[in-house]
Amino acid sequence: MNTRAGVVLAGVMALALCGATAPAGAQELSEHAVRSFMEYAWSLTPQQFSKPDGSVIVIDKSKKAQVEVPLDVARRVIMAGRLSAHAQICDLRDEQIQNHRAMMRREEATKRWTQQQLVYISQLHLTTLMLMTGRIRLVEQEGDKQVVVDEKKEPPQTCTAEQRAKVKELIEAYVAASPPPNFAEAGQKPAAGAPVSTGSTSVSETSVQKK
């Protein structure tokens, strides 16, 4: 990643963090901003993803165009990621998990995406969350700027009681309007934080983040 890309990342982070104190969906992202989010998500997408059943999804990093999703889809994934970031900032852990799972169920319900694309979609959501909570930073290696995950950094605690209530309300509405989870049909409820199978693949943010 060159210096120009580093400047773009700084701008994207400023936009994302600005939105952290406003209601989710209140600020629209430009096409340039969406493409920047997509680029950073691609750089952090692992070459393979291990599913809970032991099978592995291989991501061909030489075929970016076949794995990325259209701009309008990326925008709605980013908006869901922003809402998850609000939840993390407001210490709404359960709502954050529910929001991510609902977003994945929505995308799987379209029957449009390959397993590789579903991994990328989850990574785009996660990248958005990390941008907003300051867990992505730039480091210089041999004169080149690289995007890396800062595991130690904690999200800023800037959530008021009013914002927390609003974020909770928005996520509850988002989840209610999403396809129901498969475990509901079986009368089972997974433990909080466990990956949930929502169709052809099972994706959790913690597993996708690891390369």
The larger pLDDT score, comparing residue 67 to residue 145, is at: 67
Segments forming the whole domain that contains residue 72: 3-183+190-205
Q: How far apart are CA 8 and CA 95, in angstroms?
A: 30
Rounded mean pLDDT of 181-196?
Answer: 45
Distance CA 39, CA 72 (A): 15
46 falls within a domain: yes
pLDDT band at residue 117 under the 50/70/90 scheme: very high
Structural domain includes residue 211: no
Residue 114 lies in a domain: yes
| Residue 210 domain-assigned (yes or no) | no
Overall domain count for the chain = 1
Instruction: Say if 149 falls within a structural domain.
Output: yes
Q: pTM, whole model, 2 decimals? A: 0.72
**Residue 37 burial (CB count, 10 A):** 25
The DSSP output letter for 29 is P
Using DSSP's 3-state secondary structure scheme, residue 28 falls into coil
In the numeric block, which tokens belong to residue 11?
A: 């701008």
Tokens of 202: 């099972």
Question: Quick check: is 118 in a domain?
Answer: yes
